[in-house]
Chain A
Amino acid sequence: MPQKIFNKIIIIFLFISTSALAEISYREILDNPTDLEINLNYAKQQQKAGNLKLTISTLERLSMLYPSNTEIKLYLLSIVVKMDSPAKLTLLVQSILSDPNTTQETKKLVVELLDKEQKLAEPSKWFAYLDLSYAHTENSNYDSVSVSKKRLVTDGIQTFSTPSTVEYDKSFKRSGALTFGKNISDTSSIFFNLGLDVNTMNKKQAGESDIVNTSVSYFKIIGNHYLTPYVYYTKPNYRQAADVNMKGLGFNNTYILNEKNNINYTAGYSNTEYHTREGFLFKYLENNDIYSFGLKFNHNISNKNKVGAKLLHNITSSLQDHYSNDTNGVEFSYAHLLPIGTLKLSTRLTEKKFRKKQDSVSTIILRKDEGILNNISLKGQLNQLIPFAKSINKKNNIFYNINFIDSHVHSNIITNKVKKHSLTFELTKRLDFNGLFK
């Protein structure tokens, strides 16, 4: 009992003492691992120096050696609650509460301390983040020039007028997208997104653009359904092409069948409206409404492997009938979780049938395209791909995406027989603004 009182006096003295104490080395701790005074001073010194791991291990040792000393446990708890580790906190709280040496008063103090910290740590219902991206794309056939370099014009074959047509080109995209939203309940959230893409091209002949996009989406879990309805508006401003407004709405729902299988179905409507200006007087004839539907089955082979099969159907109705078409397709995908990121392979086969002949192209042939699109992508956190990046990407908030697309379109119109491939490298840094809402 006198020893207990003595220990308490030492601890109280150490807690209130602010006087400078001689620096205690780790070697001294190795020589005196059980000395209460030296070790408590050491724990405090290490906390001050920011070496919290040593503070924690020292306090844990003292807790083992002096189990009836509740002050040490509370000191340790006051650090562990700030560690952002519910697992460690639970272990510690359990050990304190189940310890027969812990008094009722201490248990009450533990609960009070936890309540206080929990209120401080409670996440805000509002969240916000900004994604800043830089992407570099090399495209083998930017303007979709036909394989034969020829085109059909009013039933006659012409050669593409090069060099005004851009084939191989590089494009650079800088984009920023601000997302903010609110967790309405445990099962629902709303997201608002505002983004701007600035695209430039190597050859600067066409295709440069600023694209403003906005969207609002809502996420709701209803039983096994994960439902996301959305609306969006996109306004590209092309330097040497017709400007256009695009708006749309739709929904995406994933129904979880069981741990291994889920079905995803989507429906969407979009409207595209071209602006009439000099050089693009008849572009408005391509104004269209698109109705799209998708049905996908996903199967998780294991925690690391997933396969999917998707059926898709698009109906495009244009102001000018010869642009109207129906597309049916099927897509097979495989995703594999690697230590460096997620590798995804997919193949999409489509058949596009136009409803009316385009007389300015052919008065005989009704256009029909068959396409195959292969996609290989690898994406993940930069630290996964380059381990030494951890020293500069300490918050682990830089993501990479390497994407290769290979597309072949076979068409009964020579103009539309097109092969192209593109390779994109993209880096995205996510800036978290959640701290603003606390």
Chain B
Amino acid sequence: MKFFKYISILTLFLLNFNFANASNPEFVGVVGAAIGDIKNQNNEKLLNGSKIYYGDTIIVNKQSNAQLLFLDQTVITVGEESELTVDEFIYDPETNEGKFVSSINSGTVKVITGEISKNNPDNLEVNVTTGTIGARGTEFVVVAESNDENKIILLGPGPNNTLGMMPGTLQVSDGLNTIEIIKPGYESILTN
């Protein structure tokens, strides 16, 4: 009988531990600038400085835009009528290693890559409805035209920049084929 009591206490403790974890989700970044009507998946209004948590969906409504700052220095600007979800964010500031997976559900989103993708573009994954984008050391825009078409444009820096910046690359994949974009201004259209 005593044995069952212990088991019950242990089970309750473990359940409590899990609940505690669920009620304290990981903070992964902040809203650096919130212009207009920005909400999360719980319909909570996001303001300048609001925290972003693992699993959050950022919804930017009409005539609004937002800049999101993540812990690894990845900066994402979300245009009007756009939606972005943070699917995965693991970051070790000591080693700058980690994994950042996000999904662009609609609209226009600009990404400036941070530390996570510095050494391996596979560690930054941006999912769109028609494929996946990997990036290293660069800035790019994703325009989700529809569920069947996404346009990805590399913004640079270019190889002849005079700022000493390292030119970056984009890897765009539709699941079957992957192409690399290295020249700023070049774009790839992913269709279903």
Q: How far is the CA of A88 from the CA of B154 in the complex (A)?
A: 9
Q: How far is the CA of A87 from the CA of B184 in the complex (A)?
A: 7
The answer to whether B33 touches A65 (Cβ under 8 A) is yes
The answer to whether A53 touches B165 (Cβ under 8 A) is yes
* B191 CB, nearest partner CB in chain A, Å: 13
Q: How far is the CA of A29 from the CA of B49 in the complex (A)?
A: 10
Q: How far is the CA of A83 from the CA of B161 in the complex (A)?
A: 4
The answer to whether the Cβ of B16 comes within 8 Å of any Cβ in the partner chain is no
* B167 CB, nearest partner CB in chain A, Å: 8
The answer to whether B184 touches A339 (Cβ under 8 A) is no
The answer to whether B32 touches A82 (Cβ under 8 A) is no
The answer to whether B163 touches A83 (Cβ under 8 A) is yes
The answer to whether B69 touches A30 (Cβ under 8 A) is yes
Q: Which residues of A contact B32 (CB under 8 A)?
A: 29, 33-34, 61
The answer to whether the Cβ of A84 comes within 8 Å of any Cβ in the partner chain is yes
Closest A residue to B184 using CB positions? A85
Q: How far is the CA of A34 from the CA of B163 in the complex (A)?
A: 26
The answer to whether the Cβ of A56 comes within 8 Å of any Cβ in the partner chain is yes
* A60 CB, nearest partner CB in chain B, Å: 7
Residue among A31, A61, A88, A395 having the largest count of chain B Cβ atoms under 10 Å: A88
Q: Which of B2-10, B84-92, B123-131, B174-182 contacts A (4 or more CB under 8 A)?
A: B174-182
The answer to whether A33 touches B33 (Cβ under 8 A) is yes
Count how many chain B residues have C-beta atoms less than 8 Å from C-beta atoms of the other chain. Answer: 41
Those of A236-276 within 8 Å (CB) of chain B: none
The answer to whether A85 touches B48 (Cβ under 8 A) is no
The answer to whether A88 touches B139 (Cβ under 8 A) is yes
B158-192 vs A, Cβ < 8 Å mask (1 yes, 0 no) = 11111111110000000001111010110000000
Residue among A50, A61, A79, A83 having the largest count of chain B Cβ atoms under 10 Å: A83
The answer to whether B158 touches A84 (Cβ under 8 A) is yes
Q: Which residues of B contact A56 (CB under 8 A)?
A: 112, 139
Residue among B158, B163, B164, B179 having the largest count of chain A Cβ atoms under 10 Å: B163
Q: Which residues of B contact A119 (CB under 8 A)?
A: none
Taking a contact as CB atoms closer than 8 A, the residue among B33, B139, B184 that contacts A34 in the complex is B33
The answer to whether the Cβ of B101 comes within 8 Å of any Cβ in the partner chain is no
Q: Which residues of B contact A433 (CB under 8 A)?
A: none
Q: Which residues of B contact A102 (CB under 8 A)?
A: none
Q: Which residues of A contact B107 (CB under 8 A)?
A: none
Those of A45-93 within 8 Å (CB) of chain B: 50, 52-54, 56-57, 60-61, 64-65, 79, 82-88, 91
The answer to whether the Cβ of B77 comes within 8 Å of any Cβ in the partner chain is yes
A368-395 vs B, Cβ < 8 Å mask (1 yes, 0 no) = 0000000000000000100000000011
Q: How far is the CA of A65 from the CA of B160 in the complex (A)?
A: 31
Q: How far is the CA of A395 from the CA of B160 in the complex (A)?
A: 10
Taking a contact as CB atoms closer than 8 A, the residue among B29, B67, B161 that contacts A84 in the complex is B161
* B37 CB, nearest partner CB in chain A, Å: 14
The answer to whether the Cβ of B46 comes within 8 Å of any Cβ in the partner chain is no
Q: Which residues of B contact A85 (CB under 8 A)?
A: 155-158, 161, 184-185
Q: How far is the CA of A194 from the CA of B160 in the complex (A)?
A: 26
What's the A-B contact tally at a CB cutoff of 8 Å? 105
The answer to whether B49 touches A57 (Cβ under 8 A) is no
Taking a contact as CB atoms closer than 8 A, the residue among B33, B139, B154 that contacts A61 in the complex is B33
Q: How far is the CA of A384 from the CA of B182 in the complex (A)?
A: 11
B18-41 vs A, Cβ < 8 Å mask (1 yes, 0 no) = 000000000001111101000000
Closest B residue to A29 using CB positions? B69
The answer to whether the Cβ of A26 comes within 8 Å of any Cβ in the partner chain is yes
Q: How far is the CA of A84 from the CA of B167 in the complex (A)?
A: 10
Q: Which residues of B contact A29 (CB under 8 A)?
A: 32, 69
Q: How far is the CA of A88 from the CA of B71 in the complex (A)?
A: 25
Q: How far is the CA of A399 from the CA of B56 in the complex (A)?
A: 44
The answer to whether A84 touches B33 (Cβ under 8 A) is no
The answer to whether the Cβ of B133 comes within 8 Å of any Cβ in the partner chain is no
The answer to whether A60 touches B163 (Cβ under 8 A) is no
Given contacts A30-B30, A57-B67, A339-B179, contact A88 B156 (CB under 8 A): yes
Closest A residue to B171 using CB positions? A339
Q: Which residues of B contact A87 (CB under 8 A)?
A: 153-156, 184-185
The answer to whether the Cβ of B73 comes within 8 Å of any Cβ in the partner chain is yes
Q: Which residues of B contact A79 (CB under 8 A)?
A: 163
The answer to whether the Cβ of B106 comes within 8 Å of any Cβ in the partner chain is no
Q: How far is the CA of A61 from the CA of B112 in the complex (A)?
A: 12
* A382 CB, nearest partner CB in chain B, Å: 13
Closest B residue to A92 using CB positions? B155
Taking a contact as CB atoms closer than 8 A, the residue among B65, B112, B155, B177 that contacts A64 in the complex is B65
The answer to whether the Cβ of A396 comes within 8 Å of any Cβ in the partner chain is yes
Q: How far is the CA of A86 from the CA of B185 in the complex (A)?
A: 7
Those of B140-160 within 8 Å (CB) of chain A: 153-160
Given contact pairs A83-B165, A84-B161, A394-B166, enumerate 6 new A-B contacts (beta carbons under 8 Å).
A26-B73, A34-B48, A64-B33, A87-B185, A339-B178, A395-B159
Can you list 6 A-B contacts with CB-CB less than 8 angstroms, sorted by A residue number?
Answer: A32-B49, A33-B48, A64-B65, A87-B155, A304-B177, A339-B178
For the complex of A and B, list the 3 residue pairs with the smallest distance between their C-beta atoms, beginning with the closest. A85-B156, A84-B158, A87-B185
